[in-house]
Amino acid sequence: DIQMTQSPSTLSASVGDRVTVTCRASQSISSWLAWYQQKPGKAPKLLIYKASSLEGGVPSRFSGSGSGTEFTLTISSLQPDDFASYYCQHYSTYSVTFGGGTKVEIK
Amino acid sequence: QLQLQESGPGLVKPSETLSLTCSVSGGSVRSSDYYWGWIRQPPGKGLEWIGNIYYSGSTYYNPSLNSRVTISVDTSKNQFSLKLNSVTAADTAVYSCARGAVIGRVTPYDHWGQGTQVIVSS
């Protein structure tokens, strides 16, 4: 089974900061990685798919990069609406694995 | 506009079977362009994949739950369902249904239901 490890688990930042979240796969997953944003009591929202493709309607301050086993989600300038939890996800026909999540808090 | 809505008992006794349904509106569970999945989130914890079902009827489950899970589709009602048997307190979670697309290869879930809380307790 493929394991997905996210870091950090919690991140404290201020509005306007550049924020980076890392996700590591236990084996190569090519670019089959997505990023979701989740706010308390709400369903996750797809931000990025295929490691670096921005989902429609998602602000351009969100970007994803990486391939193989190392991936990053970057928020170029953190906005008040961005304080939330973020999850990476490996997806394939046969299985789905989520990372443990990163909570972005107000500093 | 696609909408997914989970329904089912909010309280299940230990050792019994958890049964949930996801009603789909604004789309068809019969479409070969999509697949349907269940995900859960225990209180204060992260997301855990339960399983997916495809147009062909093929199902894929989380290995850690495989022996207890069944996902099925009811095309006449435009719904898909989750059954998880022999539940314990560790199965207490918010259960969500979701849809992903199949465009050559699968894409990640792009539509989710709001989730339904299930508590396992006697």
B115 confidence band (pLDDT: 50, 70, 90) = very high
Reported as a single tens digit per residue, the pLDDT across A21-48 is 999 999 999 999 999 999 999 999 999 9
What is residue A42's DSSP assignment?
Answer: S
Subunit contact B48:A91, Cβ cutoff 8 A: no
Instruction: Give strand pairing partners of B71.
Output: B82
What token pair was written down for B90? 């560790």
Q: Which residue of B has its CA nearest to A42?
A: B114
Per-residue pLDDT of chain A (107 residues; tens, 9 = 90+): 899 999 999 999 999 999 999 999 999 999 999 999 999 999 999 999 999 999 999 999 999 999 999 999 999 999 999 999 999 999 998 999 999 999 999 98
Whether residue B65 is predicted with pLDDT greater than 90 in this model: the reply is yes
For residue B71, is pLDDT > 90?
A: yes
Whether A104 contacts chain B with CB within 8 A: no
Beta strands B59-61 and B116-120, pairing class: unpaired
A94 touches chain B (CB under 8 A): yes
Q: How many CB pairs under 8 A join A and B?
A: 53
* Distance between CA atoms of residues A63 and B8, nearest Å: 37
What is the end-to-end Cα distance of chain B in Å, rounded? 39
Any chain B CB within 8 A of the CB of A9? Answer: no
Do B99 and B2 touch, CB atoms closer than 8 A? yes
From chain B, pick out residues whose CB is under 8 angstroms from the CB of A1: 63
- On chain B, the residues whose CB falls within 8 A of the CB of A101 are 46-47
Enumerate the residues of chain A whose CB falls inside 8 A of the CB of residue B37: 96
Predicted local confidence at residue B106, as pLDDT: 87
CB proximity under 8 Å: A 50-79 to B: 50, 55
Residues of B within 8 A of A100 (CB-CB) are 46
